[in-house]
Each structure stands twice: as structure tokens, then as C-alpha cells.
A and B are shown apart, each in its own frame.
Chain A
Amino acid sequence: MNSSSRFSDQRGFAVWIYVVTLIALGVAAYVALVFYQNIVDRKAEAKQDVFRVVEVSDQTIDPAIWGKNYPRQYDSYKRTVDTERTNHGGSEAFQHLDKDPVWRRIFAGYAFGVDYREERGHAYMLLDQKETERVTKFKQPGACLQCHASTLNLYINEGLKAGVPPGKSNWEAQIQKGFEVVCKMPYVEAAKLVEHPVSCIDCHDAENMNLRVNRPGFLNGIRALAKSDYPTPHLPSIERWRKDGRKGQYEPNTDATRQELRSMVCAQCHVEYYFKGEGKLVTYPWDKGLKVEQIEAYYNEVGHNDWKHKETGAGVLKAQHPEFEMWSQGIHARSGVSCADCHMPYVREGAIKVSNHHVRSPLLNVAQACQTCHRVSEKEITARALLVQDRNAALLTRAEQALLGLIDAIVAAQKAGATDAQLKAARDFQRQAQWRLDFVAAENSMGFHAPQEAARILAEAIDYARQGELAVARDTKAPVLAATP
């Protein structure tokens, strides 16, 4: 009995060894196949990342159609609907006028004094423009649409209608003509002709996916800049064009490198502009250069005022969103870093590298946006960026207060009966101070795109505002007192 029980024990043990070995080998075979399949997938990804299932052309506006060929890019593009706040900005449509009521006074008499909401993501650009009180309560031209809708096709079609010959060789002539037609239309009319916010076609050539700029405002602006002597070390193709004898026109689409185009496609819209003349042509004031005082000099030369300040009567300027201009003054531009490097950094999906089309603040994606170059911890990078922005915000507040001081001084002098002649110098100072303050405030980086330049501009704003206050005191002094020995 004893020996037979030992025998059955041994037998039971042996069976278990078989079972365990079988299971282990089965699992091993399974894992080897799963691993094999994974490697097959990665290898396939590496060989082909684009599979054209539909044909896209210059006439394909709907990004969903492009998305069938480029699903990865399209997926991230769609994420621009996301709403997220950063310390100083983000993509939530908060009302600046409520957050900082000083701006109600600074913009007194202008559409921005009624509605100044923070921009949301790209996906909302057309909707938000249709809804802003600056458009619903004020009469605006079709010019606004250049940068709030996918208008390339509209321009081409309107250009063809206006008699520009068809064909690829007349591509730009069609765009420029259509642009002229649409800019002077009433906004409400023009808005009926578009349906999509910025789409694939606005930055990419449908034939080969190359980056391509097509907004007439930008094409004209960058050519004017190229013709000037403003140094552009951050845009070497312009310097090269100048060195080669400035033949014909600077052509960003053929002259610029891909890396430059990775900024230029953004600079089609993220810039300072004004509507020129009766035709309301969107014009980038770069004839003299990209710096705040060069743009101001251009506006002074053409005699442009955005509006007359309601409280002080000064002819003042509104800065738009001069991100390209400010970036151009900074260390990142100088080091050859493009907009897309930080705002659309490369991401990996398996073995495929794609640029993230969820355009947003790098502060929301520090690892991919910054760490490719800056090999320190995310926490450290974020802390450094916030330090720059907090300093800028502090200077900005001081400049706002200085400008309010000047506005108060002019208003008080007006009440006391000061003449226009007496207030001319002070109003000129207000124009200068306000332009500089707004240039930094309207720019979407809270100084980060060029911290030193932003600080310089704000220092000038503060100085001009205080000089203006001195001018009020000096110029409105009673002549009797002045004559007293």
C-alpha cells in the first residue's frame, strides 16, 4: 500500500510536469508570434506612412477628405477644439475686458472696447469671428476672412470669375484678383462663401504635400520686407535673394527652405496687419522692417490711424497679433527654430514620425516641444518659461498703468479747457505708448517669443506715457505763470 501510494504520487507529479511544460511551450510559441507580428507592423509602418485612398487637389477644401489619406495628421488637427487655459493665455474664450478692465478705457471708441475675447483653437476661428460683437455690432469687410476661413479656393474662383486666365501658371494672379474682390465685399456676404476654418489646403500643396504659402497679404508683405534692408538672419533665403542681386520678386514658395516655410505658413496670419484704403486690402506693414518702431514709422508715413480715442481724441493704432514679428526678434528664431518646431512638434506613432497638427501652447506639451533641444526636466523648463512670462506680465501691468495715467492727464486737461494745439504732443505720446503696449499685449506669448524685445518695447511704452504726462503739464501751463520771472 505504501509503495503503491508512492508510485501514484510519482505518476501524478510526472503528469503535472508534462502539463506545465506543454502550457509553457504553448505560451512561448504564442508570445513569439505576437512579437513577430509586432515587428511586422513596425516594419510596415516604416516603409509606408501614406496610403492615398482618395485624390485631393487644390479644389479639396474639406479637411475630412484629406484626413482619409493622412489620418494621423487629421486626428491631431481635429484636437484644436480642445480648450485649455495656461497661466497667461490658452484657448478658452475669456473676456479680456472683464479680466483687465483697463483695456475698456484703452480701447475706448473702438470695437475691441466692446468685445475682446481670448482666441480659441484653430477649429473655432470662423465660428468665433461670426459671433464676436466686433463683427455683429460693427460693419466689417470680407477682408477679415483672409485669416478666419479656408479662403484659397474662394480667391481662386473669384479670380477666375473676374477674368484671370485659368491654369496653374496663373495661380497667383487668380488668388490676388480674388483677394481684391473678396476684401471689399461686406463681411456678411463674403462669409456665406466659406464654410471651413483653416484647412489642409491653406498650408499644403495638394499634389505633393509640400508646405506652401498662398495668402496674398503675406506674399505681398514678405516681398516688401525682402525689398527693404531689414536684416533677416532668421530667414536666410531672403538674405540670399538680396545677395543674388534682388532679381524679380522674392518667391517664398521656391526660394525659402522647408524649415523657413515651417514658420512662414503660420506667418500667413499670425502677424500685424491693417486694411489698406477703400479696397480694404489686408496689408502687412513690413516695408521698413519687422520691429515695432519700423511698423509705426510705416503707419505714420501712410497716415494710418485705426481709430480716434474716445476719451482723449488721439489718433491711435491697434496692434493685431504680431507673433511672427515678435518671434523674429527672439533667440529661437535666431537659432533657426521654426513655429512648427514648438507648436507642432514631431510625435511618434509606432515607427512613424508625424508632426502634431494639434497646434497649441508648448506649455501644454513641454516634453515634445522643448526637450528635443533642452535636455532638462519638464518642471525646470516650465519654470523658466513661466518666469519669463511673469516678468513680462508685471511690466505689462506697469505700462497699462502708465498709459492710464496719460489718458487721465489728457482728459483732465481737456476738461480744464486745453486746446488741441496744447494737447498735440501729449496725444502723439499716447499714440506711441499705446501702440507699444498693445504690441506686447496683443502678441500671443506673454513676451516669451522675444523676452528682451518685449521688455524693451514696454520700457518705451512706459517712458512715452510718462513723457506724455509731462507734456500735458508743460504745454497746458498758463502762459501767465510761464512768463513770471
Chain B
Amino acid sequence: MTLRKHPLLLLAIVALFGVVAGLCTYTFTYAQGFSYFSNDPQACMNCHIMREQFDGWQKSPHHAVASCNDCHTPHSFIPKYLSKAENGFWHSKGFTLQDFHEPIMIRQKNVAVLQQNCVACHEQIVDGINTHPGDPKKMLDCLHCHREVGHGPIR
């Protein structure tokens, strides 16, 4: 009822909504936002921080069978996109504000995801072992020994 009394104000707000939506869409597209919904490893390199990890992966034993998401995000749909959203938020924050720890290091939470994914593919061999993914005290970390499978040998 009140809006009807102020048509110009209404128009201004609607117009501003449009401007904001346009700006956001443009920025999102410019930042290749849609690539983050893909499985393409190039997306992880958009911000140039992951270049070493990407280079290492290309020369690693796993590059023919697993891409970034296969190891670093959960395999089922909803947890996968939740994980992408959460990590995406922290990555964007870090890269925009430049306030992250160097060298970058995986968080414990994501180590558990990795571990689950190792087991998911290698189940036939390791199903006799309970590796306790996610429990830092008990976890039998595959990567403790097989550190080179994902990103190749470390210098």
C-alpha cells in the first residue's frame, strides 16, 4: 500500500537490485565462478596458488586415474558441494585478504576426506584395515607412507 504511494522509490530499489545482480553476475563470470562447479583441475589453478600442486599432480602416479576432486572432495553429491562451498569460502577469503599461512597446508578435516577417498578406490586391498578416517588419534594415515601418490615426489 505504501509502495504504491512512492512508485519512484520502488523503481529505484528495483533498479538497484538489478545493478547489484548485474555486478555480481559479471564478477562471478569474470572470476570463472562456474568452473568451480566442474571437475576440471584447471579450476583449482584459477587463483595460481595451487600451481605447484597441479604441476606435481601431472607428474604423479595418480594423474591418469584421479583428478583434484576425486581425492579432495567427498564422492556423494551433497557432501561434495558442501565441502566445495566451505573450502571455497576459506580459499577466497585467504586469497582476497592475503592472510593465509605459507606454505599452504591441508586441514585435518580435509585429511579425513582424503583418507576416505583412498579407501573408496582401494577398498579391495585395504578393506581388512580399519583406518579410522577422521579420528586424528587413531587414524592410520595412508599418506604417511604414500605421500607421493598425489603430487609426486617432494623436492
- The answer on a CB contact under 8 Å between A368 and B47 is no
The interface residues of chain B lying within 8 Å CB-to-CB of A350 are 98
- The answer on a CB contact under 8 Å between A14 and B154 is no
- The answer on a CB contact under 8 Å between B13 and A21 is yes
From B21-29, B71-79, B117-125, B129-137, give the one contacting chain A. B21-29
A51 at the interface (CB under 8 A from B): no
- The answer on a CB contact under 8 Å between B47 and A351 is yes
- The answer on a CB contact under 8 Å between A29 and B23 is yes
Looking at the complex, which one of A32, A38, A335 makes contact with B96 (CB distance below 8 Å)? Answer: A38
- The answer on a CB contact under 8 Å between A28 and B103 is no
Query: How far, in angstroms, from A27 to B13 measured CA to CA in the complex?
Result: 13
B16 at the interface (CB under 8 A from A): yes
A95 at the interface (CB under 8 A from B): no
Known: A46-B48, A337-B155, A373-B155. A368 touches B103 (CB 8 A): yes
Interface size on B, residues (CB 8 A): 29
Chain A 327-365 interface 0/1 with B at a Cβ cutoff of 8 Å (1 = within): 000000001110001000001101101000000000000
Residue on B with the closest CB to A33?
Answer: B23
- The answer on a CB contact under 8 Å between B12 and A22 is yes
Query: How far, in angstroms, from A409 to B3 measured CA to CA in the complex?
Result: 106
Known: A335-B155, A367-B101. A32 touches B23 (CB 8 A): yes
- The answer on a CB contact under 8 Å between B102 and A367 is yes
Query: How far, in angstroms, from A390 to B152 measured CA to CA in the complex?
Result: 34
- The answer on a CB contact under 8 Å between A42 and B47 is yes
Residue on A with the closest CB to B26?
Answer: A36
B31 at the interface (CB under 8 A from A): yes
- The answer on a CB contact under 8 Å between B16 and A39 is no
CB distance from B75 to the nearest CB of A (A): 25
Query: How far, in angstroms, from A372 to B104 measured CA to CA in the complex?
Result: 8
Helix, strand, loop or mixed for chain B's interface? helix
B17 at the interface (CB under 8 A from A): yes
Looking at the complex, which one of A28, A39, A367, A372 makes contact with B20 (CB distance below 8 Å)? Answer: A28
Select the residue from B30, B96, B103 with max chain A CB neighbours within 10 A: B103
A166 at the interface (CB under 8 A from B): no
- The answer on a CB contact under 8 Å between B16 and A36 is no
Q: Chain A contact residues (Cβ within 8 angstroms of B): what range?
A: 35 or more
- The answer on a CB contact under 8 Å between B102 and A368 is yes
Select the residue from A33, A39, A45, A351 with max chain B CB neighbours within 10 A: A39
Looking at the complex, which one of B12, B16, B98 makes contact with A29 (CB distance below 8 Å)? Answer: B16
Query: How far, in angstroms, from A367 to B101 measured CA to CA in the complex?
Result: 8
Contact residues of A between 1 and 48, Cβ < 8 Å to B: 10-11, 14, 18, 21-22, 25-26, 28-29, 32-33, 35-36, 38-40, 42, 45-46
- The answer on a CB contact under 8 Å between B102 and A347 is yes
The interface residues of chain A lying within 8 Å CB-to-CB of B51 are 353
The interface residues of chain A lying within 8 Å CB-to-CB of B13 are 18, 21-22, 25
- The answer on a CB contact under 8 Å between A367 and B16 is no
Contact residues of B between 1 and 47, Cβ < 8 Å to A: 2-3, 6, 9, 12-13, 16-17, 19-20, 23-24, 26-27, 30-31, 47
A371 at the interface (CB under 8 A from B): yes
- The answer on a CB contact under 8 Å between A36 and B103 is no
A52 at the interface (CB under 8 A from B): no
Chain B 113-155 interface 0/1 with A at a Cβ cutoff of 8 Å (1 = within): 0000000000000000000000000000000000000000011
- The answer on a CB contact under 8 Å between B20 and A29 is yes
Residue on A with the closest CB to B48?
Answer: A351
Query: How far, in angstroms, from A151 to B31 measured CA to CA in the complex?
Result: 48
A375 at the interface (CB under 8 A from B): yes
B105 at the interface (CB under 8 A from A): yes
- The answer on a CB contact under 8 Å between B19 and A29 is yes
B85 at the interface (CB under 8 A from A): no
- The answer on a CB contact under 8 Å between A14 and B26 is no
The interface residues of chain A lying within 8 Å CB-to-CB of B12 are 22
- The answer on a CB contact under 8 Å between A373 and B2 is no
Looking at the complex, which one of A32, A40, A341 makes contact with B155 (CB distance below 8 Å)? Answer: A341
Contact residues of A between 359 and 398, Cβ < 8 Å to B: 367-368, 371-373, 375
- The answer on a CB contact under 8 Å between B105 and A371 is yes
Cβ contacts A to B, 5 pairs, < 8 Å: A25-B16, A42-B95, A348-B49, A353-B51, A371-B105
Please provide the 5 A-B residue pairs with the shortest distance between their CB atoms, ordered closest to farther.
A32-B23, A351-B48, A36-B27, A25-B16, A14-B2
Spell out A's residues near B (CB within 8 Å): 10-11, 14, 18, 21-22, 25-26, 28-29, 32-33, 35-36, 38-40, 42, 45-46, 335-337, 341, 347-348, 350-351, 353, 367-368, 371-373, 375
Beyond A351-B47, A368-B103, A373-B155, 6 extra complex contacts between A and B, CB < 8 Å = A14-B3, A22-B12, A25-B13, A25-B20, A350-B98, A353-B48
